[in-house]
Amino acid sequence: MKASIFYGIENIKTEEKEKPKCGDKEILVKVSYCAICGTDVRIFFSGHKKVIPPAIIGHEITGEISEIGKDLKNIDLKIGDKVVLVTSIGCGKCKLCQKGFYNLCPDTKAIGYFYPGGYAEYVVIPEPAVQQKAWVKLPSNVSLLEGSLIEPLSCVINGQNYLNIEKGDTVVIYGGGPIGLMHAVIAQAKEAENVIIIDPNFQRLESFAKNFEGLILLDPQKENVKEKIKSITSGFGADVVITAAPAKEAQMEAFEIVAPKGRISLFGGLPKDNSIISLDSNKIHYNELSVFGSFASNRISFKQAAQLISQRKIVPEKFITEVIPLENLEKGIRTVRKGEALKVVTKI
């Protein structure tokens, strides 16, 4: 089969490789599309502790069921079913896995990191993933291409499930990449009154946001963000702040612009050697703020994401700006890095 192999930093090659065998308790998927995630870009340029080269990365995967292991009798799947793969695979035994929070299992192993991923013609759903039903069937009106947005969207939904966004809320999002824009569109679907995106790379933000209506875009280099948000909210501040950027400044500013009773999502992580911020905890105390984290996603949010696309609350064409052949993966990764495309999807 054709596969793109990650051999190390800035070294990825598309070549012929033996097709993986489907074990008796495994499922083989013929990959149709695999979208490029910000994490794939980071792996390509900086590596990742769970990705040991040579490796096949890629975790935003849709495809068709090609083989089902012979020991899997009562499985709700048949050859040809169109699915999206759930990324995080837990140990299956711990307290968090028992509740379905496989993304938070201390021993979580993910497809496209620990297990081979989707930049290949075939991917195996390994046994622990089969036990966790680590797939969701695509709704009939969602194509395999559109389904490649379900994974990133599921992460956004997982983050927003904590935030209780309501009609009339002001929602501020730091970071105007695909994830920030997904947050914005979902907040609008919940009837937030003002949805504001802040990004210092303002040109990129403007070009990405041109297909989306009703957003307020702020350039922090030119505008006083705090004053601006005060004036939009009659002095109260934002009801919800989401930091969808790996920036300390954004996290710290979130506490300056949030209203009493406000909710903050630290959605984007910080670089691991630079993740300490300073914080006046009295702001949380006196204003009854809620601060949430969010990491990856689980099957429940995959299902919610599939439904949002099926209902066209998220319109995939607005996000998918480029579809490329697998051979051009490296070019695609570099395009995403330069901020020249919103969502690039490889067609396998």
- Site of interaction with Zn ion (CB under 5 A): 37, 90-91, 94, 97, 105, 152
Closer to Zn ion by Cβ: residue 97 or 209:
97
Helix residue ranges, H only, the chain: 38-46, 95-98, 127-131, 144-147, 150-160, 178-189, 202-209, 225-232, 248-257, 281-287, 299-310, 316-319, 329-337
CB of 40 to Zn ion, least distance (A): 7
Beta strand 109-110 with 88-89 is antiparallel
Q: Are 179 and 269 in contact (CB under 8 A)?
A: no
- What residues pair up with 35 in beta bridges, in sequence order? 60, 345
CA distances for 52 relative to 13, 19, 151, 213, 308, angstroms:
15, 20, 22, 42, 35
Closer to Zn ion by Cβ: residue 130 or 218:
130
Helix 225-232 vs helix 248-257: angle between axes, to the nearest 10 degrees?
40
Q: Collapsing DSSP states into helix, strand and coil, what is residue 214?
A: coil
> What is the torsion angle, in degrees rounded to the nearest 10, for the CA atoms of residue 233, residue 237, residue 238 and residue 244?
130
CB of 128 to Zn ion, least distance (A): 10
DSSP 5-28: EEEETTEEEEEE-PPPP--TT-EE
**Quick one: how many helices (H) and strands (E) in the chain?**
13, 17
Closer to Zn ion by Cβ: residue 105 or 229:
105
CB of 217 to Zn ion, least distance (A): 24
The type of residue at 204 is R
Q: CA 127 to CA 120: how far, in whole Å?
A: 19
Helix 329-337 vs helix 38-46: angle between axes, to the nearest 10 degrees?
100
Closer to Zn ion by Cβ: residue 39 or 194:
39
CB of 197 to Zn ion, least distance (A): 20
CB of 345 to Zn ion, least distance (A): 12
CB of 193 to Zn ion, least distance (A): 30
Show Cβ contacts of residue 57 under 8 Å, excluding neighbours closer than 6 positions.
Answer: 6, 40, 43, 51, 112, 113, 117, 119
Q: CA 163 to CA 281: how far, in whole Å?
A: 20
Closer to Zn ion by Cβ: residue 105 or 120:
105
Q: Are 180 and 173 in contact (CB under 8 A)?
A: yes
Closer to Zn ion by Cβ: residue 130 or 258:
130
Closer to Zn ion by Cβ: residue 220 or 339:
339
CB of 230 to Zn ion, least distance (A): 35
Closer to Zn ion by Cβ: residue 238 or 305:
305
Closer to Zn ion by Cβ: residue 98 or 231:
98
CB of 92 to Zn ion, least distance (A): 6
CB of 83 to Zn ion, least distance (A): 16
Q: CA 14 to CA 132: how far, in whole Å?
A: 31
